[in-house]
């Protein structure tokens, strides 16, 4: 699924956010990036999502060089950033409609998919609520629900758990497990090793922008 060779990300001449990163992640594998804040986990996910451009090195996803990869035609990717991204002045329903329209669904398909999600995830009470009036917990859950509208080849979840209440954490974990299923490659970034163990079979440790054997 994913191969990284000698990757560097430098923000200034002196500071490397990522230093000589090498890794292979297999199709359908569940992998956790574990490390403290500012250890490089988010920067690497942003590179994989094409939101950040690497300084040096190579990244291949499905054997396609990252700079030539088209997320619309080559791969179905879901990315949950640490800060939820929505049209804040639009309602939950309008946000769902906007994303589905962007994915090319017809009006009848959009209506059907949204109604199914409202029922399945008990969203009736908040479907007409503007995103700006929701709590951070609710935004995180909706970010995950939004990805349920399509099957994913690759799901990447940044460190959403540190700002999440304990009650919602279990809901989020179950949603991630459901979205990943058996056929989706999952990469989760977290500061908590116990959360990594609940979602993933393999852990890759990060410290000061490098991969290390452990955090001890």
The pLDDT of residue 154 is: 96
pLDDT at 114: 96
Q: How confident is the model at residue 160 (pLDDT cuts 50, 70, 90)?
A: very high
- pLDDT tens, residue by residue, 169-183: 999 999 999 999 889
Which domains occur in the chain, in start order? 2-89+130-212 (3.40.50.300)
Mapped to the 3 state alphabet, what secondary structure does 13-25 carry? CCCEEEEEEEEEE
Mean pLDDT of 131-152: 94
Check whether 13 has a pLDDT greater than 80: no
Residue 72 pLDDT level (bands cut at 50, 70, 90): confident
pLDDT band at 116, cuts 50/70/90? very high
In whole angstroms, give the CA distance from residue 205 to residue 25: 14
CB 21 within 8 A of CB 58: no
Beta strand 64-65 with 2-10 is: unpaired
Please check the confidence at residue 14 and state whether its pLDDT lies above 90. Answer: no
E-strand spans in the chain?
Answer: 2-10, 16-25, 30-34, 56-61, 64-65, 77-80, 154-157, 185-190, 202-207, 210-212
């Amino acid at each position: 699924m994913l191969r990284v060779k000698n990757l560097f990300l430098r923000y200034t001449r002196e500071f490397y956010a990522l230093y000589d990163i090498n890794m292979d992640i297999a199709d359908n594998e569940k992998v956790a990036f574990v490390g403290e804040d500012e250890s490089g986990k988010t920067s690497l996910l942003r590179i994989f999502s094409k939101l950040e451009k690497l300084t040096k090195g190579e990244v291949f996803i499905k054997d396609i060089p990252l700079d030539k990869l088209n997320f619309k035609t080559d791969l179905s990717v879901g990315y949950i950033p640490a800060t939820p991204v929505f049209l804040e002045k639009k309602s939950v329903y309008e946000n769902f409609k906007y994303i589905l329209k962007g994915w090319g669904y017809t009006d009848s398909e959009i209506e059907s998919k949204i109604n199914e999600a409202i029922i399945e995830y008990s969203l009736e009470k908040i479907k007409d609520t503007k995103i700006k009036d929701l709590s951070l917990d609710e935004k995180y859950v909706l970010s995950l629900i939004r990805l349920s509208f399509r099957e994913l080849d690759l799901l990447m979840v940044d460190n959403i758990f540190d700002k999440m209440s304990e009650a919602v954490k279990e809901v989020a974990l179950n949603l991630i497990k459901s979205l990943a299923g058996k056929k989706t490659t999952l990469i989760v970034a977290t500061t908590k090793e116990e959360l990594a163990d609940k979602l993933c079979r393999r852990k890759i440790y990060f410290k000061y922008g490098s991969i290390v054997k452990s955090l001890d």
